[in-house]
Amino acid sequence: MTRKLPLTTDEALKRALRKLARRMCTSWEIREALRREGFPDAVLEETIALLSERGYLNDRAYVNAYVEERRQINPRGFFALRHELKERGIPSPLLAELRSVYPLEVEVEDVVRLLSFWQAREEDRERFWRRLKARGFAEEAIEWGWSLFFGSPRP
């Protein structure tokens, strides 16, 4: 017979901290993980509040870290980042501030970096444009980065 642990705030905190020890999470991700484990809503809200007060959960810090890590490992554009963060439960007010975290000038830097990498592999220029669009880069960022990198507007 399996012994079932009580669904208390203390138990929820332990489980949430174990998850947070592996990787940074959003409030929504922790809430959903605990909900799947059967914790009642009152315990969920109390747990999220305690973790936030103690600094273990901070969606704004998550957004900053996520954008920076994504830029370094596998760059994506503004629109793709916004979509990915929305899927991770980042609230709309924080999503509305994303451009301040990932300014157009920085997005252009990422476009130029990708163009440089791809050109070294001698790929078709038209394919560059399609790949940047598919990665969610803003049209303005692609055009600006293109002219900086190639010295001319897109043909």
- In this structure, the number of other CB atoms found within 10 A of the CB of residue 146 comes to 22
Q: Do 82 and 27 fall within a single domain?
A: no
Q: Do 50 and 104 fall within a single domain?
A: no
Q: Do 115 and 47 fall within a single domain?
A: no
Q: Do 53 and 67 fall within a single domain?
A: no
Q: Do 80 and 134 fall within a single domain?
A: yes
Within a domain: residue 115?
yes
Within a domain: residue 1?
no
Q: Do 76 and 47 fall within a single domain?
A: no
Q: How far apart are CA 118 and CA 131, in angstroms?
A: 10
Q: Domain count of the chain?
A: 2
What's the pTM? 0.84
Q: Do 111 and 128 fall within a single domain?
A: yes
Report pLDDT digits (tens) over 86-110.
999 999 999 999 999 999 999 999 9
Within a domain: residue 2?
no
Q: How far apart are CA 15 and CA 87, in angstroms?
A: 22
Does residue 152 surpass a pLDDT of 90? no
Report pLDDT digits (tens) over 9-61.
899 999 999 999 999 999 999 999 999 999 999 999 999 999 999 999 999 99
Q: Do 146 and 72 fall within a single domain?
A: yes
More confident residue, 34 or 127: 34
pLDDT on residue 90: 97
Quote the domain boundaries for residue 65.
Answer: 59-155
Query: In degrees to the nearest 10, what's the CA dihedral of 109, 114, 115, 120?
Result: 130
The CATH code of the domain that includes 46 is 1.10.10
Phi, psi of 43 (to 5 degrees): -70, -40
